[in-house]
Amino acid sequence: MAVADIHDEVAGPSRTRGGFAPLWGAIAVAGICAAPLIAVAVVAMFGPWTDYLTHIAGTRLPAWLVNTALVGAIAAAVAGTGGAAAAWLVARYAFFGRSSFEWLLALPLAMPAYAAAYAWYDLTQAAGPLAGIVPTVRGPLGAGLIFGFTLYPYVYLLAREAFAAQSSEAYDAARTLGCGPLEAFRRAALPMARPAIAAGLALVMMESLADFGAVVHLGAPTLSVGIVRAWAGEGSVADAARLALVLVSLAFLVFFLERLQRRRARQSAASGRKRPARRVALSPARSALAAAFLLLPLLAGLVIPLARLGWLAIHAPLARDLASALWHSLLLAGLSGTIAAVLGLTAAYALRTGRVAAVVAARLAGLGYAVPGAVAAVGVLALFGWLQDGFDALWDGPFPVLLTGGIAGLLFAYQSRFAAAAIGPAESALARITPTLDGAARTLGARPLDLALKVHWPLVRPGALLAGLLVFVEVLKELPATMILRPFNFDTLAVTAHNYASDERLGSAALPALLIALAALGPMVWIARQMTRAERLVREARG
């Protein structure tokens, strides 16, 4: 305990003073990301007040809150245990199919949760092919499971990296001291990976809280349904914004708990990569068991819903303009992923300075993730409206540039929505760089920029790639902002899939959904390979 305390002191806020710390740039980045959320807050504060909130508080709000808690808890439980267990197996054991599972396990992230919900409901409802065999996937339990199985890769990816980077000394010591494998895992390996797991869980929970499509379809209305209802049913954007702030507060709570975890587990930052663990070979029987266990999330989150959608697609007319939708999706996702990787790193650096302004700004940027897409889109729209008014005033007349209907506006909206997905991994990656490393490099005469480019970059590159990848996939799936802000005649795969699905033509929605998964698959495989290759090189270099 004393050791950890000392570490905490060393790794405290002052740890990078004089290091590479682009504070003001980072605050600007974070500010831009947080702008839509601030716009939502302004709308909430200055919008007209009605008695709608009292009406809601007395009628549906309790049920929405209960559902929100249930859905979030179930999703977190499934994604947390499943994701961490899968990561542990893949990082520490050698078994049949391991190297395939290593990247396959990331793929369910390519499946939009609402598409998985549609497919599973269709399979298990009264007239469905699995009726009577599997209970109908519905209600908070069904929705929680769907989120757990489609979002666990967040936990898996972050935890796998953490486990792989861990020195095996603590675990080995625990085993030597008589702990069983499970006990040693719980007491030695798990605490060190906890920040990564918590970061993944925070993403899982925020995304399940902000979902609308899946929870409505499965009959588990959460607070985000209430937000859309305030808007669509009552016609009150201001009340929707107010309820959105309640949801953001919940997300802040999740965030806060995650930070608490990270602080408690800071010793992991100092453990470094002294001696990466050798993978333990499993017996054939245990190999089969491990493979069977890892197959489960793949089947539930990806293979079965895709198979159902594919089967339906065979009987349905082809969706139109799929090639251009695919191109638009790849373009937007590629650009967004690249920008997000840069922004995520910048924000992570700002956080590293420990300055209050930077921390507040970056946390605000991260919160954008929990705002339901439709409301975030409204925030972006409100913001663009004000900016446009400002231009008009400067221009002394209607300013010709229109912020909506351009790709720049869309890219901006994506960053505000998904910055959290990029900041988390970048922050975890940066946490691995110890203050002593900075100090050593500085002593050897490295200037701050050298330090960042020559010392930090090789170490944070996997994290930056991961951040970019996560945002790439997110943008592929993203709906409301794309629907509202995109230019004329500019559809994406997600928009096409949603349009068909919302008109109950699952069959025609299937192929675009399939293409989303396939489009995510390519870069995912490539990056998973890159990351494993880098790991292997490190291993070989260290013997």
- What residues between 366 and 425 interact with another protein by CB under 8 A? 374, 377-378, 381-382, 384-385, 388, 398, 401-402, 404-411
Nearer to another protein by Cβ, of 159 and 381: the residue is 381
> Amino acid letter at 398?
P
**Which range of residues in 93-101, 202-210, 332-340, 469-477 is near another protein by CB under 8 A?**
332-340
Nearer to another protein by Cβ, of 454 and 536: the residue is 454
Contact with another protein (CB under 8 A) among 193, 206, 306, 339: 339
- Least distance in Å: CB of 319 to another protein? 10
Beta bridge partners of 276: 167
Contact with another protein (CB under 8 A) among 48, 182, 283, 315: 315
Instruction: Give me the 139-168 binding string for another protein, x by CB under 8 A, dash otherwise.
Output: x-----------------------------
Contact with another protein (CB under 8 A) among 320, 447, 529, 542: 320
* Integer Cα distance of 84 and 463 in angstroms: 18
Contacts of another protein in 475-494 (CB under 8 A) = 480, 483-491
**Residue 437, both tokens:** 């490393």
* Integer Cα distance of 317 and 311 in angstroms: 12
Sign of the Cα pseudo-torsion (87, 93, 95, 100, in order): positive
Task: Say whether residue 326 binds another protein (CB under 8 A).
Answer: no
- Least distance in Å: CB of 294 to another protein? 31
> Could you give the C-alpha distances from 418 to 222, 297, 376, 404, 407, in angstroms and in order?
21, 24, 11, 19, 16
| Contacts with 410 (C-beta within 8 Å, 6 or more apart), sequence order | 332, 481, 482, 485, 486
Nearer to another protein by Cβ, of 12 and 132: the residue is 132
Task: Say whether residue 307 binds another protein (CB under 8 A).
Answer: no
Residue appearing with tokens 């590629």: 334
- Least distance in Å: CB of 124 to another protein? 11
> Could you give the C-alpha distances from 81 to 261, 298, 300, 470, in angstroms and in order?
16, 15, 15, 20
Contact with another protein (CB under 8 A) among 32, 130, 138, 298: 138
Contacts of another protein in 104-123 (CB under 8 A) = 121-122
- Least distance in Å: CB of 500 to another protein? 7
Contact with another protein (CB under 8 A) among 27, 193, 228, 376: 228
Distance of CA 382 to the CA centre of its chain: 25
Sign of the Cα pseudo-torsion (291, 297, 299, 302, in order): negative
CB atoms within 10 A of CB 401: 10
Nearer to another protein by Cβ, of 128 and 272: the residue is 128
Nearer to another protein by Cβ, of 196 and 403: the residue is 403
- The pair phi, psi for residue 281, each rounded to 5°, is -75, 135
Task: Say whether residue 503 binds another protein (CB under 8 A).
Answer: yes
- Least distance in Å: CB of 176 to another protein? 40
Nearer to another protein by Cβ, of 291 and 387: the residue is 387
* Integer Cα distance of 383 and 39 in angstroms: 6
333 within 8 A of 476, measured Cβ to Cβ: yes
Contacts of another protein in 168-227 (CB under 8 A) = 216-219, 221, 225
Beta bridge partners of 281: 94
**Residue 529, both tokens:** 């390979």
Nearer to another protein by Cβ, of 243 and 270: the residue is 243
Instruction: Give me the 340-369 binding string for another protein, x by CB under 8 A, dash otherwise.
Output: --x---------------------------
- Least distance in Å: CB of 480 to another protein? 7
Return the closest-CA partner of residue 105 out of 306, 280, 290, 301.
301
Task: Say whether residue 25 binds another protein (CB under 8 A).
Answer: no
Contact with another protein (CB under 8 A) among 504, 540, 541, 543: 504
Quick one: three-class SS letters along 136-201?
A: CCCHHHHHHHHHHHHHCHHHHHHHHHHHHHCECHHHHHHHHCCCCHHHHHHHHHHHHHHHHHHHHH
Task: Say whether residue 60 binds another protein (CB under 8 A).
Answer: yes
CB atoms within 10 A of CB 474: 24
Task: Say whether residue 271 binds another protein (CB under 8 A).
Answer: no
- Least distance in Å: CB of 300 to another protein? 19
Task: Say whether residue 499 binds another protein (CB under 8 A).
Answer: yes
80 within 8 A of 155, measured Cβ to Cβ: yes
Q: At what angle do helices 190-210 and 139-151 cross, to 10 degrees?
A: 120
Task: Say whether residue 533 binds another protein (CB under 8 A).
Answer: no
Task: Say whether residue 56 binds another protein (CB under 8 A).
Answer: yes
- Least distance in Å: CB of 477 to another protein? 16
Contacts of another protein in 455-474 (CB under 8 A) = 457, 461
